Structure 1
């Protein structure tokens, strides 16, 4: 909990198991996702484990992968429905997925750590692969982004991001450069993640993964240039100058002039050129909508605001509450020297108790992650 280079914990790699084929596992052996307190209910075990971590480190992110099979609950099936698991494929009572990839259960049984501050630490993390790992049914056609969404992505994990349920991190994606279907799939997923601001971890760096290969050549010291060229656009970088943006607010990704820290980005590049995330919209990355007086409903999001000059939480006085304000508060609370010119740190007292402290920081995190719709009035 005292090492700020560790930002979170992926609770278990690829929970899986399925009952729909010959030699099926026993019900108590498969990783399931329901509302039971069974030990193999991954939703229950992830809740217990995540809460144990947050007891020690309340700032940790908790990465929760999916399972493999999820029953067609809309047709009345559950994991405990008797005598249905040998049904033919065209009558299947379950939805399949990659190991760790099926997050359909979040819709019916979302993880709940018991408080809004703890729930703001949840990051759902499916694994997703292309046909070089296994030729799933959604690859049987001349697939496109839309068919992948319709056949698999949306109801399996993409809805979580689209409906602002929680942040997503695609915990594994990657594969062989085959000049065909697998390469096409990688390009489509890469572009979808960029366009929808979805975080991701590429599998993998080392070249000796039989399913996927790696970013390094077999000498373990030089890049596989073709694969790196495919992957590189998905790295976070400034829109015009192409500088890689670190996730550390102090340190860049390396030496030289090709990388900048997070603080450098928001202070010097965000408003002027933006980044490749969200199509390069300037000054909008991670922002919430301005807070306005009264209560209004826009889609499923309810916001509360005043005039831009008196926005609660707007330390930078730019009319919005965004990551830049939270970074300034973090720097202030950590004792760093902060340039207060053109800033209003009183606006950072978002819970109105007359002081800047960790409670204010927790509320910023909840608002920016959309765990709550606005600061307390």
Structure 2
């Protein structure tokens, strides 16, 4: 769908590190982490991102692609409702959406497709840009942040340079200026990933880093576009990816497209506000291509040294924050699980770890598959188990209510419906409505699972099952449910989809069923 790479010999840049084992997919969730999204716009203090109050924040997000393709809209909307999809992302603990788009998708007359308007009635008649607006609005409703990723100039293919004969640099910068102005004052959108995976070409006319040619030097182009973005929206982060090949550095000469930042120490990106600069790299497993380093006898102990040389030095040296903007795997090769466990350990835990957005949410990525399986609903628990301990949920915390009793006069209704069913399990949604006169603070909804039903995961709340009792606790982005308001809780479960539970409760208060 997106990138390819240049496979080259590995130089001797080794550093030993322990192998991180994948956590068990059935393990209990990790304790709630410190705040991931913070308040207001973000900036950098050295290698650390901070929110408007100076508190450390971190992107632990996921890529949701599609707006860069001929659909001009995120994929999967033919199978799911947009709001439900974003709620599931947030419920799983992802706090950021990296949203690829193409300049073509922003063109007047570019008509989105691949959307079931019965499932998404609010999207009918919208332009590609207006659908991006809707993703941003829904992310905001769940306390998430959004990074806009200019993935391609046109919808049909990736480009090594930031411009093409049909899409000049001026259009690239004008579109970024338009987007920066459009989302000015909205802290949900935190920044601009200026161009996806600049890279070299066989004829020597592709992207370079620090070569000085204004038509090829990606570092110089990033400065031009970055200044335009900051002039239009001083709150935004300017995110600059690497290239693939940088001769004459301690790193191997070439690596993944967009993944080589070894030229930064000699040729750093210079912005008028250096506290808005973030460098970004991409890193992949053997499911994308079998690089030499995967066959090295020292694998996986060779990987931390390789990552240091390509991109880790950015954060180690305190030059700027580092975002691992794409990384992913099908987990089909045994080495891939070792690679992913080692990489997550390398990125680190908590708000001071390296920022990341996993590729991808979508199951239809040919290189990697997705967090979701082919039904666009079921979570790939094997992949998620590697990521879950490192996620900082939207607004921090992720853990929900304290299980306290509801206020006097509490009343509630639950509308429960099965949304999909198959031989071994089902997905369902329980929409809780506050029918009382007082807000439900830190609410906890419980019900009894029918015999043989086991909840595997949930979204829209922090969902767990203990014995026969299912508990859905208020997420941090919606801790208070105001009178008349509703909140949807989604679950994926194994077992029979009927009968439906009917004993929903908020504390000691029984809820009516719709």
Task: State the TM-score, normalized to the length of structure 2.
Answer: 0.41
What secondary structure is seen at the aligned counterpart in 1 of 2:219?
helix
Distance 1:121 1:220, change over 3 A: same
The structure whose residues are more often helix, as a share, is: 1
* Residue of structure 2 equivalent to 1:219: 375
CA shift digits 1:178-220 (9 cap, x unpaired): 2610111011111111246001000001111111011111111
Q: 1:141 deviation in Å?
A: 2.2
* Residue of structure 1 equivalent to 2:410: none
Equivalent residues, number:
225
CA distance in 1 between partners of 2:245 and 2:475 (Å): 41
Whether 1:14 and 2:169 are equivalent positions in the alignment is no
CA distance in 2 between partners of 1:186 and 1:35 (Å): 33
CA distance in 2 between partners of 1:145 and 1:260 (Å): 38
* Residue of structure 2 equivalent to 1:55: 231
CA distance in 2 between partners of 1:164 and 1:122 (Å): 12
* Residue of structure 2 equivalent to 1:127: 282
Question: Which of 390, 394, 399 is matched with 1:243 structurally?
Answer: 399
Whether 1:98 and 2:256 are equivalent positions in the alignment is yes
User: 2:200–2:245: 8 Å Cα contact kept in structure 1?
Assistant: yes
Q: 1:130 deviation in Å?
A: 1.1
CA distance in 2 between partners of 1:213 and 1:137 (Å): 23
CA distance in 2 between partners of 1:134 and 1:179 (Å): 11
Question: Which of 295, 298, 315 is matched with 1:161 structurally?
Answer: 315
User: 2:300–2:338: 8 Å Cα contact kept in structure 1?
Assistant: no
CA distance in 2 between partners of 1:112 and 1:67 (Å): 17
CA distance in 2 between partners of 1:225 and 1:94 (Å): 34
CA distance in 1 between partners of 2:210 and 2:188 (Å): 34
What secondary structure is seen at the aligned counterpart in 1 of 2:239?
strand
Which structure is richer in relative contact order (CA contacts within 8 A, separation 6 or more)?
2
User: 1:176–1:183: 8 Å Cα contact kept in structure 2?
Assistant: no
Q: 1:3 deviation in Å?
A: 2.4
Question: Which of 141, 144, 147 is matched with 2:302 structurally?
Answer: 147
User: 1:144–1:188: 8 Å Cα contact kept in structure 2?
Assistant: no
Which residues of structure 1 form unaligned runs of 5+?
A: 19-23, 75-92, 245-252, 264-377
User: 1:35–1:109: 8 Å Cα contact kept in structure 2?
Assistant: no
Task: State the TM-score, normalized to the length of structure 1.
Answer: 0.55
CA distance in 1 between partners of 2:230 and 2:257 (Å): 26
Question: Which of 285, 288, 292 is matched with 1:137 structurally?
Answer: 292
User: 1:62–1:123: 8 Å Cα contact kept in structure 2?
Assistant: yes
* Residue of structure 1 equivalent to 2:425: none
The structure whose residues are more often strand, as a share, is: 2
CA shift digits 1:338-372 (9 cap, x unpaired): xxxxxxxxxxxxxxxxxxxxxxxxxxxxxxxxxxx
Which residues of structure 2 form unaligned runs of 5+?
A: 1-183, 401-458, 462-471, 480-514
CA distance in 2 between partners of 1:231 and 1:206 (Å): 16
Distance 1:184 1:262, change over 3 A: farther
C-alpha root-mean-square deviation of aligned residues, in Å?
Answer: 2.8
CA distance in 1 between partners of 2:460 and 2:307 (Å): 34
Question: Which of 338, 361, 365 is matched with 1:209 structurally?
Answer: 365
What secondary structure is seen at the aligned counterpart in 1 of 2:302?
helix
